């Protein structure tokens, strides 16, 4: 019997497995460092070219930074003479003596020198609070929350602003500056914006039209106006309407402005998270008898916030950098103090500005990158906890 | 909790009325669309009702009206003596007494299986956490998955998830259980384990309303089968009569389609 082409033999049509196949280890090129490099960096000509270009770019940037920050940098000196090419007869990088000398100013602004320990204590108290909240295995985190959200704000106010009755002279906020102001403004914005943002987001999705209307009005109004305008209104317009003796403190006004602004953005971030929660979750919660508030608190918000962590942190990072805008209404945040110091004739050299801005860049980079890393770690932890 | 108490927990809670669910001339619209038309259905305590019909016939919508996941616009729905209207208190009262199982489980993915089950007893019944967890474990044992208690729903198979969903509903000691296509989203190999759980519930005398296409289940446990089409109840009968001697043209067509 002959078979036409394309037909299958009887033995190819029927099959019963008679031996079980055990799993084998993957081929060598999928494992090990060499395998990884070959697979990921050198897989195609385009990939090889990209790898080389990026490598060269990295070397160039790192070399330039090293040069400026360390190799050519000036480490000691009393004034601008130390950082001038004309007097030193060499390439001049960063002018670090300028930073050493002005570091207290960058940190405290014009806060009176004998009272600066109060700021240090505040930084320490804040660090304890932040550590307590962010370290998830920390003991008594409920106490930590109480400390962070109730005790710390009161203590900080007494410490920084002063309380004459217990012997702490009042320090007008006009004198506050530098890192102190940046940290205060950012912390208040970060801490206040999340709860208010959540309330606004829930309001915007409320079934009650009046609540929805006011939440929407607030969010859209604040989002529709640049932060600078909000700050201007808080600092210039508000005093026009309020009698002078009731006029709130300038820093306080800026704080309220920034907190409002951040809350509106946070509300939209949270709303996006709420919208991503399937209807079935609400129905599951309602079907077991949960009413609105426990349903939101126990079922919807935990899930919504979890998926919005990257966006929440993104908003926080934006907010942290936006604090520099308070400069505009004459508040001396870190960037503003650097701005003032760099034009001081005592240190005026071609590299002073670059050095000052480098300090600012490092400061903001550390904080923003820190937030970003923490968020990534949290995401990873939650992913591991609740694989779906 | 003593063993006596636990076994009491095992039995369905007593209804305070002989009629578990009374639906009278109920109508519902989605916008202009008349989804439920003049629904009349009276379910006695302990009765097992299976509701079937083509998709879009309003079966799910009807049972979702019973715990007010959907609002009806006219007519009356009385659940164990409590009439459903806009009164939020009454709605909560009904939801506490009526358990529901969904097609897509609707478990809470951020909570463990045990937390899923203990949540409502703790927050709705205000039970101490320890006691709620005991009850949760009791029902998880009953649906045969006590050893999965500390896993997350996403780590379980579909059939296991649906059994957790049943346990979660049972933890509230409901007087009535609603099932909305509980096996439709499951792989074929997992349908049986869920149906077995439902059969054992039925044997305990639970009042049940099930929307399902599992005709074997309907034959085995249903006291009555309700057939719906285009928002109306078309035919209602005991299973034997329903399957062997359907009266309405639409019922005959439906049965000929699904029973081949």
pLDDT in tens, A178-196: 999 999 999 999 999 999 9
Q: Please, which pLDDT band fits residue A306 given cuts at 50, 70 and 90?
A: confident
Question: What percent of chain A is predicted at pLDDT more than 90?
Answer: 57
Nearest CA in chain A to B157: A388
pLDDT in tens, B66-121: 999 999 999 999 999 999 988 889 999 999 999 999 999 999 999 999 999 999 99
The predicted pLDDT at position A35 comes to 79
Nearest residue of chain B to residue A291 (CA atoms): B92
3-state SS string for chain B:
CCHHHHHHHHCCCCCCCCEEEEEEEEEEEECCEEEEEEEEEEEECCCEEEEECCCCCCHHHHHHHHCCCCCCCEEEEEECCEECCCCHHHHHHHHHHEEEECCCCCCCCCCCHHHHHHHHHHHCCCCCHHHHHHHHHHHHHHCCCHHHCCCCHHHCCHHHHHHHHHHHHHCCCCCEEEEECCCCCCCHHHHHHHHHHHHHHHHCCCEEEEECCCHHHHHHHCCEEEEEECCEEEEEECHHHHHHCCCCHHHHHHHHHHCC
Find, among A342, A333, A270, the residue nearest to A304 by Cα.
A270
Instruction: Tell me the mean pLDDT in the region A1-10.
Output: 66
pLDDT in tens, B131-182: 999 999 999 999 999 999 999 999 999 999 999 999 999 999 999 999 999 9
Question: pLDDT tens for residues A75-93?
Answer: 988 888 888 888 888 888 8
Residue in B98, B104, B155 closest to A387 by CB: B155
Mean pLDDT, rounded, for A168-177: 89
- Give the closest of B69, B92, B110 to A289, CB-based: B92
Q: Is the Cβ–Cβ distance between B15 and B45 less than 8 Å?
A: yes
A-B contacts (CB, under 8 Å):
68
For residues A88-113, give the mean pLDDT: 91
User: Are A266 and A194 spatial neighbours (Cβ–Cβ below 8 Å)?
Assistant: yes
pLDDT for the residue numbered B260: 66
* pLDDT band (50, 70, 90) for residue B49: very high
Tell me how close the Cα of A278 comes to any Cα of chain B, in angstroms. Answer: 9
Lowest mean pLDDT among A12-16, A351-355, A360-364: A12-16
Please state the pTM of the whole predicted model.
0.83
Residue A223 pLDDT > 50: yes
- Does residue A24 have a pLDDT over 50? yes
pLDDT of A343 above 50? yes
Residues of chain A contacting residue B152, judged by C-beta atoms under 8 Å apart: 385-388
pLDDT value at residue A388: 45
pLDDT value at A59 more than 90: yes
pLDDT for res A234: 81
Do β-strands B82-83 and B74-79 pair in parallel, antiparallel, or remain unpaired?
antiparallel
Q: Write the pLDDT tens digit of every residue in A107-126.
A: 999 999 999 999 999 999 99
The DSSP output letter for A370 is H
Write down the pLDDT at residue A238: 77
Per mean pLDDT, which range of A81-95, A264-278, A300-314, B199-213 is the poorest?
A: A81-95
Query: Does residue A362 register a pLDDT over 90?
Result: yes
Whole-angstrom Cα distance, residue B255 to residue B243? Answer: 7
CB atoms A289 and B124 under 8 Å: yes
Between B96, B108, B172, which is nearest A299 by CB? B108
Residue A385 pLDDT > 70:
no
Mean pLDDT of chain A: 89
Q: Are strands B98-101 and B176-180 parallel, antiparallel or unpaired?
A: parallel
Closest-CA distance, B162 to chain A, in angstroms, reads 12
User: Is the C-alpha dihedral spanning A117, A123, A127, A128 positive or negative?
Assistant: positive
Lowest mean pLDDT across A126-135, A242-251, A256-265, A296-305: A242-251
User: Which residues of A lie closer than 8 Å to B, measured between beta carbons?
Assistant: 280-281, 283-291, 294, 298-299, 302-303, 306, 385-388
Token pair recorded at residue A203? 């309001």
């Amino acid at each position: 019997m002959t078979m036409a082409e394309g037909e299958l033999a009887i033995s190819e049509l029927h099959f019963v497995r008679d031996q079980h196949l055990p799993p084998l280890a993957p081929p060598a090129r999928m494992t090990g460092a060499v395998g990884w490099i070959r697979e990921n960096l050198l897989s195609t000509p385009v990939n090889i070219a990209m790898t080389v270009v990026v490598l060269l770019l990295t070397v160039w940037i790192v070399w330039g930074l090293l040069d400026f920050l360390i190799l050519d940098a000036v480490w000691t000196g009393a004034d601008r003479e130390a950082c001038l090419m004309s007097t030193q007869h060499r390439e001049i990088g960063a002018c670090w003596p300028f930073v050493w000398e002005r570091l207290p100013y960058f940190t405290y602004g014009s806060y009176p020198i004998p009272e600066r320990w109060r700021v240090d204590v505040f930084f320490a108290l804040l660090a304890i609070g932040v550590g307590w909240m962010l370290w998830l295995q920390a003991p008594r985190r409920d106490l930590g929350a109480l400390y962070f959200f109730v005790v710390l704000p009161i203590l900080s106010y007494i410490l920084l602003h002063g309380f004459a009755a217990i012997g702490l002279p009042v320090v007008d906020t006009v004198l506050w500056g530098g890192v102190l102001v940046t940290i205060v403004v950012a912390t208040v914005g970060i801490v206040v914006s999340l709860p208010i943002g959540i309330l606004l987001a829930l309001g915007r999705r409320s079934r009650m039209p009046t609540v929805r209307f006011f939440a929407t009005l607030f969010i859209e109004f604040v989002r529709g106006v640049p932060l600078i305008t909000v700050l201007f209104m808080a600092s210039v317009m508000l005093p026009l309407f309020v009698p002078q003796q009731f006029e709130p403190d300038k820093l306080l006004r800026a704080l309220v402005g920034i907190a409002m602004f951040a809350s509106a953005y946070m509300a939209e971030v949270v709303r996006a998270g709420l919208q991503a929660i399937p209807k079935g979750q609400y129905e599951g919660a309602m079907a077991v008898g949960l009413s609105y508030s426990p349903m939101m608190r126990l079922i919807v918000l935990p899930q919504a916030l979890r998926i919005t962590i990257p966006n929440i942190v993104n908003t926080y990072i934006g907010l942290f950098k936006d604090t520099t805008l308070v400069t505009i209404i004459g508040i001396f945040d870190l960037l503003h103090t650097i701005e003032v110091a760099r034009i001081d004739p005592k240190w005026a050299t071609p590299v002073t500005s670059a050095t000052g801005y480098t300090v600012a860049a490092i400061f903001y980079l550390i904080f923003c990158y820190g937030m970003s890393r923490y968020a990534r770690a949290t995401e990873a932890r939650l992913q591991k906890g609740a694989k779906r | 909790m003593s063993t006596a108490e636990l076994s009491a927990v095992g039995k369905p809670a007593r209804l305070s009325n002989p009629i578990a669910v009374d639906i009278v001339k109920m109508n519902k619209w989605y916008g202009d669309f008349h989804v439920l038309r003049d629904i009349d259905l009276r379910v006695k305590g302990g009765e097992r009702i299976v509701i079937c019909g083509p998709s879009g016939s309003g079966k799910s919508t009807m049972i979702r009206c019973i715990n007010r996941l959907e609002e009806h616009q006219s007519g009356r729905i009385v659940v164990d003596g409590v009439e459903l209207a806009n009164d939020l208190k009454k709605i909560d009262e009904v939801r506490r007494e009526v358990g529901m199982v969904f097609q897509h489980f609707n478990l809470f993915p951020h909570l463990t299986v045990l937390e899923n089950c203990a949540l409502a007893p703790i927050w709705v019944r205000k039970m101490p956490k320890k006691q709620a967890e005991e009850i949760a474990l009791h029902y998880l044992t009953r649906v045969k998955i006590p050893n999965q208690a500390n896993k997350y729903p996403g780590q379980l198979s579909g059939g296991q998830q649906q059994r957790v969903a049943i346990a979660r509903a049972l933890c509230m000691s409901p007087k009535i259980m609603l099932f909305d296509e509980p096996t439709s989203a499951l792989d074929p190999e997992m349908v049986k384990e869920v149906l077995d759980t439902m059969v054992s519930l039925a044997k305990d005398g639970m009042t049940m309303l099930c929307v399902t296409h599992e005709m074997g289940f309907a034959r085995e446990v249903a006291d009555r089968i309700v057939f719906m089409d285009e928002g109306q109840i078309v035919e209602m009968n005991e299973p034997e009569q329903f399957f062997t001697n359907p009266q309405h043209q639409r019922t005959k067509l439906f049965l000929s389609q699904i029973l081949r």
